[in-house]
Chain A
Amino acid sequence: MTIPATTLALTTNPWTAAAMIAAIVLASTAGEVLTAAAMKSIGDLDVIRARSGLTGAIRAVLTCPLFFAGVFFLAAAFFSLLFALNHLNLSLVAPASASLTLVTNAVAGKIFLKENVDRRRWVSAGLVCVGVYLLAH
């Protein structure tokens, strides 16, 4: 199969690469914040499972609309990841999207989930972010 000229151009243009990574980061941040909010609204799954069994726990998750909103964005992130992996190297996509997502999630966690992102968590988000980049670059 011959590779169309347009896709070759895609792989060399840094702006297109940045757009692919931005799509992954935005979609996965939205998805993770929504699923985290959903799981917090459901409550401790271990407690639910102890009370009403595994089916009860699964039902609790599947009857939460927020969860499906989260899954929608996570699916969007998944297909943007597949698309990006087809054009770019894993060694660029994985560290860039993972480390950026960590930071956007720390910000989103503080704003939307009202999580207590104290100095300890900021520092560790920063350390892990740089670490992921170094590790996979």
Chain B
Amino acid sequence: MAHDKLLPRQYLILGLVSLCAPLGDSCLARGMSAMPAISLAHPGALVAAVFTPWIVAGIALLIGFFASYLTALSWADLTFVLPATALGNVIVALISRFWLHESISIERWAGIVLITLGVGFVAQGPALTERPAPIDEEQQLEEPVATEAQTR
């Protein structure tokens, strides 16, 4: 099965991967920075932190991220999916600039340009490494029979 061209639905999944991760991380950061310092001597405090509202919101977003991330990994390489995650940081920066009217420094604009270039660069290539024997549905059905015969 060729995956050279991704379907619109697959781009939607990659979009969810890139958006949910930075939004979830921001929620976690907001929750954890509002909390008193936790020492390694009291790891139970980390578990208690899981039940505070910002952390709950962060975890919900990260679960959404994880589901779409797993789906993406089932048809694309890890080294293809990961740059997509970074693109989300660009989206969050642009939201904060044009929606929340925060200022973006020259360094941040440079970062935005570099990430966009990098993601565009990897997106030009194939999403999945070509295997010598690609596993398609026919082979998946045949393979167990073959291995059974070998073990006998």
Contacts and interface: CB of A to CB of B under 8 A. Distances in A.
B79 A121 contact: yes
Interface residues of A, number: 61
B128 to A, nearest CB: 9
Given A128-B115, A131-B118, A118 B74 contact: no
A53 interface: no
Nearest to B115: A131
B86 interface: yes
Given A39-B73, A46-B71, A124-B119, A105 B78 contact: yes
A127 B9 CA distance: 27
Given A44-B1, A120-B124, A81 B28 contact: yes
B82 interface: yes
B56 interface: no
Given A1-B36, A46-B75, A128 B83 contact: yes
Interface string B18-41: 000000011011001101111110
A116 interface: yes
Contact of A6 (B39, B74, B85): B39
A128 to B, nearest CB: 4
B111 A131 contact: yes
Contact of A82 (B10, B49, B114): B49
Nearest to B112: A135
Contact of A87 (B37, B78, B110): B37
B121 A120 contact: yes
B57 interface: no
A123 B78 contact: no
Nearest to B7: A46
Contacts of A114: 129
Contacts of B1: 44, 47
Most buried by B among A11, A83, A101: A83
Nearest to A42: B74
B113 interface: yes
A59 interface: no
B48 to A, nearest CB: 11
9 contacts: A1-B36, A40-B74, A43-B74, A79-B46, A98-B89, A109-B78, A120-B122, A125-B83, A128-B118
Given A6-B39, A135-B111, 19 more contacts: A11-B37, A36-B78, A39-B74, A81-B28, A82-B49, A83-B40, A86-B49, A90-B25, A101-B82, A102-B82, A105-B82, A109-B78, A113-B77, A118-B125, A121-B79, A128-B118, A135-B108, A135-B112, A135-B115
